Amino acid sequence: MDWVFEIKDKSGRDIHLSKERWDHILRHPEMANQLSQIEETLKNPDSITEQSYDPKVRFYYKYYKERREYLFISIKYLNGDGFIITSFYTDKIK
C-alpha cells in the first residue's frame, strides 16, 4: 500500500493515511498544506467520538483557534489498525 504517513494515535494505535485517501481529502481546498495538523490532531485530539452506525469508526477533533474551527478526521479501525477515511474543517463537534 502507498502510505502518505503512518503514526501512532493518542491511544497508541497505528493510523495510516493512504495516497488515495489523501487525494480524496485534498478535494477540500482548505486541506492543502494541512498534513501536520492531521498528524497533530491524531496525536493530541480534543475529542474522540464513537458512531452508533458503525462501531469501528471514530471521529477525532482538534480546535484550531487561528481558524476558529475544528479539524475533523474520520478513522476506521480494521484488524487493530486505523485508516483515515476523510478529514476537513468544521465549526462544531458532531
| Closest of 65, 75, 71 to residue 35, by C-alpha | 71
pLDDT at 1: 63
Q: What is the mean pLDDT of residues 12-40?
A: 96
Q: What is the mean pLDDT of residues 67-81?
A: 95
Q: What is the pTM of this model?
A: 0.94
